[in-house]
Amino acid sequence: MMIIPDYAAYIFDLDGTVYLGDALLPDADTTIRRLRAAGARVLFLSNNPTRTRAQYAARLTALGIPTEPDEVVNSSFVLVRWLLAEAPGSRLFVVGEQPLCDELLAAGFELADNAEDVAFVIASFDRTFVYRKLQIAFDALRAGARFIATNPDRYCPTPGGGEPDAAAIIAAIEACSAHPVEVIVGKPSPIMARTVLDLLQLPPARCLMIGDRLETDIAMGIEAGMATALTLTGATDRRMLAASSTRPDFVIESIADLCPRQEPYLSRARCP
C-alpha cells in the first residue's frame, strides 16, 4: 500500500468514486468525515448536470455525508458562470434536462423552444432527447448560434453498466450540422479546474483530485497542476490504466485508501 501525503483540499468526483447509483461506496462516509475532522477542505465535483448543486448536496447528506451546496461543483454550475462572464442574459437553446434549465433560468437567461435568435446551443446529458431537439439545434447553428456543451463523457456509470451521456448528444448535433462544439466546460476542461481553484483559494499543488476516469478526472487534475488519485471503483480498471498514457500520482482500490486503517500507513495529521 502506498503512502499518500497530506493535502489541504480533497476534490472528489461523485459517480463511481463516492457512490455508484443509489449506493454509497464502502467507507466513503467515514473517509470524508475523517478528512474533514483533520481540517482538510472537501469539494465534490461532477460532470453530471442532471441535478442542481442543492440536489447533489441533499443526496450526499441523505447518504450519510453532510454536505452544503457550496461544497459541490457540477458542470451546469460551471456553465452558468462561464455564460454570465461571456454573454449574460442571452437566449439559449438547451438540449438537456430540467435541472440544467432551472439553473440557467435562475441566472437570468432566456430559454428558447425554437431556433429564432438563439445565441448558444447547449448540448448536455439528456435522457429526454428527441428528433425535434436535434432539428432546433441544427436550425439554430445554421443561423449563427454558437455551440457549447456541459461535459464530454461518453456514458454515466450505473450499477447495471451505464447510460449514454453528453458525448452522444454532442456527436449527433456535430454530425448533422458540421459545426464542431466550441467549448466544453466540464472535466477535463481548464474552465472547470479554474472554477474549483477559485472557490478553494489554494494553489493546485496543495489539492488532490480523486476520480475514476483517466480522461476526465485525472486529465483535468494533471493539466491544472494538482496531485491526482485514480480510484478503481468506477469506470477504469487496471487493464485500462496500463493501456493509457495518462498517469495518476496514486492508484487506489477505493477512497478508503486515503485514510487507511492499518497503523503503519496512518497519517494522524490527516485522518484522526
Q: Does residue 34 contact residue 259 with C-beta atoms inside 8 Å?
A: yes
How far apart (Å, rounded) are the C-alpha atoms in residues 106 and 69?
15
- Please say if 217 is a catalytic residue: no
Strand-strand pairing, 19-20 and 23-24: antiparallel
The set of cell numbers assigned to 57 is 448536496
C-alpha–C-alpha distance, residues 186 and 193, integer Å: 9
Residue 212 and residue 225: Cα distance in Å, rounded? 18
Nearest to 82 by CA among 70, 97, 92, 95: 92
Q: Per the residue annotation, which of 13, 126, 153, 217 is the catalytic one? A: 13
Could you confirm whether 257 is annotated as catalytic?
no
Other Cβ atoms less than 10 A from the Cβ of 5: the count is 10
Total residue count of the chain as it appears in this document: 272
Amino acid identity of residue 89, one-letter, is G
- Residue tagged active-site, from 15, 153, 217, 257: 15
How many angstroms separate the CA atoms of 218 and 213, rounded?
Answer: 6
Q: Which residues make beta-bridge pairs with 230?
A: 211, 251
Q: Cα 7 to the chain's mean position, in Å?
A: 20
The three-point CA angle 55-222-218 to 5° equals 50
Instruction: Give first-to-last CA distance, the chain, whole Å.
Output: 19
Partners of 109 in beta bridges:
none
- Residues with a catalytic annotation lie at 13, 15
